[in-house]
Amino acid sequence: MKVLAVNGSARKDGNTAVLIHRVLEELQKEGIETELIQLAGQSIEPCRACWACGGQKNCVHKKDSFRDIFEKMKEADGILLGSPVYSANISAKMQALLERAAVVCDMNPGLLTHKAGAAVTAARRGGALHAADAMNHFFLNHEMIVPGSSYWNMAYGQLPGDVEKDTEGLSNMANLGKNMAYLLKRLNGCEG
């Protein structure tokens, strides 16, 4: 089993990455393979609304990183999305990724059906729940199954590493990883 994580921050290895790693550590303890893609430094253009992806099972536009990432999303058993809060929402790169992934899934139904999906977000102060919801809406609109945790999946910090001080937030991430592993094992017919 494999979980693909995508960090939508413009800052590589920042707070969102810390949260993602905390979730992935718990998945790894349960024997689940993980991979992290960080969008920082990569180009992801928004959807062009050309609707040419019908029957293609991927976006037809090849000049940026989208197609490779979406292939990995299709192959994975679970997808972990992480975004910092930007303007009380997800980052523009995460939005571009989800716009295009959503249209490809709409035009080619079933590509992500019954995979597990979880979302985490890092914020300085406001908008974290909205950002988490934006990512969860993607999962819920494409027949994915979303595990919960002991609180909403957010942690607070501004400068890189600040979220390490948010012990409640990190503990919630660890619990999310445990619950995602539990869900993945059952979705894939393994014993707990």
Ligand X SMILES: Cc1cc2nc3c(=O)[nH]c(=O)nc-3n(C[C@H](O)[C@H](O)[C@H](O)COP(=O)(O)O)c2cc1C
> Which residue ranges make up the site for ligand X (CB under 6 A)?
9, 11, 14-16, 84-88, 122-127, 157-158, 160
In this complex, which beta carbon is closest to ligand X, that of residue 74 or of residue 86? 86
Residue nearest to ligand X (CB): 14
CB of 17 to ligand X, least distance (A): 6
In this complex, which beta carbon is closest to ligand X, that of residue 4 or of residue 144? 4
- What 8-state DSSP symbol labels residue 145? B
CB of 168 to ligand X, least distance (A): 16
**Secondary structure (DSSP) of 57-92:** SS-S--SSSHHHHHHHHHH-SEEEEEEE-BTTB--H
Closest by CA position to 132, among listed 117, 142, 122, 120: 120
Write down the number of H helices and E strands in the chain: 5, 5
Q: How far is residue 76's CA from residue 118's CA, in Å, rounded to a whole number?
A: 13
CB of 61 to ligand X, least distance (A): 25
CB of 169 to ligand X, least distance (A): 11
In this complex, which beta carbon is closest to ligand X, that of residue 84 or of residue 117? 84
Q: How far is residue 170's CA from residue 19's CA, in Å, rounded to a whole number?
A: 7
In this complex, which beta carbon is closest to ligand X, that of residue 50 or of residue 88? 88
